[in-house]
Every structure is written in structure tokens, then in C-alpha cells.
Amino acid sequence: MRFSANLGFLWTDHPLPEAIRAAKEAGFDAVELHWPYEVPAAHVAAALHETGLPCIGLNTRRGDIGAGENGLAALPGRETDARAAIDEALSYGAEIGAGNVHVMAGFAAGAQALATFLRNLAYACERAAPLGIGILIEPLNRYDAPGYFLQTTDQAVAIIDELGHQSLRLMFDCYHVQLTEGNLTHRLTELLPYIGHIQFASVPDRGAPDHGEVDFNHVFTVIETLGYHRPLGAEYKPDGDTDASLSWLRRRRSPIFPG
């Protein structure tokens, strides 16, 4: 089984190129980013080339963080800003060889927000396809992101079906789905045809996947059984030093877990 280090949470005390190197040294197979835009893409690309690690993807900008924004694509009246964020993410992603861009919806609700999100996602898909980049959408749980437009996997699937773009996929974050819907392994099985990337963290504290209410050894085994072999995203918040939080990864690399 392969794993991707989400550098939005892991090794955040390192400059981003050094965090990529740390992920390689720790034994990760890939990396993924949140908002790397303050670091020149050439520096990130060089670190990826040096380590041989692929980049799973990155997020579009959140918008006005000071005003509490968490994405722009479902905000009526912000289409210009949303599309600028999409263009920026696709340009940066193309330069570093990222596989996907996660288009963040933001805090919104209602039919107008849905129509706005659909239009902006269609825009993203049309521009991503020639670059070979996938577009991901991710439901966020109502405890961490109350009022976020995209809240459930059913809602995400309906949007994917409505648009019908081959490059549009679901980012299935086990942490968010467990808090909102539960039934992780059933949802993974049912939604596998829609899934473009899987992330994980312990529930309910979003820590390393070696404690909490979810048995990730079981979840990982189910994912393997389903035939999903792309790197799984470790998007968790370490309690202190990142390297000290990696006992779960070292155990998965032991002969007991040959996958």
C-alpha cells in the first residue's frame, strides 16, 4: 500500500522543498499540498524531481482568509475571483506536475450557489483536461466547516453526475465522511467509481491514524481489496513533531503488511 504526505499538515515547520525531502526520507510515496503559492513553483518542481515523488494535487486559494472565506467556487458574484484561483492552481499544478486540483467551494447555500459551483467546475474541467490534470471536489464536515457548501458525498456525486466531465472526481476524506455519514467501508465500496483520491486521519481529533474510533488497519485492507492502489493521503495534524507521529507508517512498512 502506498501513502502520500499532505504537506499542509505534515512538516509545516520546514520550508516546502525541505518538507518534500523529509517526506521522501520518511518513506512516503507521494506528496500533496494545500496552498503552496508563496513558494515559487520551480523550487517545488526541483524538490519533486530530486526525490522522485509525484504530487497528488493542491487546492485552489481560499479567498479572503481574514474575512473567513474557505473557497470561492460556489459564491455567487465571485466568479471572476473563483476562476482566477482555478487558473492559478492549474498553472502552478502544471509546472510542478500535479495530478489534481481540488476546487474549494466555500461557504454558501441554495440554488444560486449550486448553479455558480456547477459553472465554475465546468470552467475548471474544460481548462484542466488539456493539461492532464484532474479536478476534485471534497465534502467537509459540519463541525469543522459549518456552512460549507459541499457537505455530503451524495451531494458531490449528484454534482459529478450533473456535469458529466470525465476529469471531475470525488476526494473521499475518511475523516470528514466518518464525522458526517459514518459507514466508511460501505461508502468507499459504493463510491469507488467516483473517487479520485482518498485521504485519512483519526476521528475525532484528526490526528495520526493509530487511535480514535476508526480502525484504519481494517479500512486500508478494504481499500486494497477494492483494487484501489493509488497513494492514500495522510492529511492529519501531528501532535508535535511529524517524524514522531509516523509509527503507523513504519508498521505498515513492516513484513506484517507486505502491501
Q: What is the pLDDT of residues 133-176, one digit of tens each?
A: 999 999 999 999 999 999 999 999 999 999 999 999 999 999 99
pLDDT digit string, tens, across residues 15-74: 999 999 999 999 999 999 999 999 999 999 999 999 999 999 999 999 999 999 999 999
**Pairwise CA distance, residues 152 & 154, whole Å:** 5
- pLDDT at site 255: 57
C-alpha cell at 134: 484532474
C-alpha cell at 160: 459529478
Domain ranges of the chain: 3-252
Mean pLDDT of all residues in 100-109: 98
The whole-model pTM stands at 0.96
- Residues labelled as active-site residues: 138, 235
pLDDT digit string, tens, across residues 189-233: 999 999 999 999 999 999 999 999 999 999 999 999 999 999 999
Structural fold of domain 3-252: TIM Barrel (3.20.20)
**Pairwise CA distance, residues 199 & 188, whole Å:** 12
Cα 205 versus chain centre, distance: 18
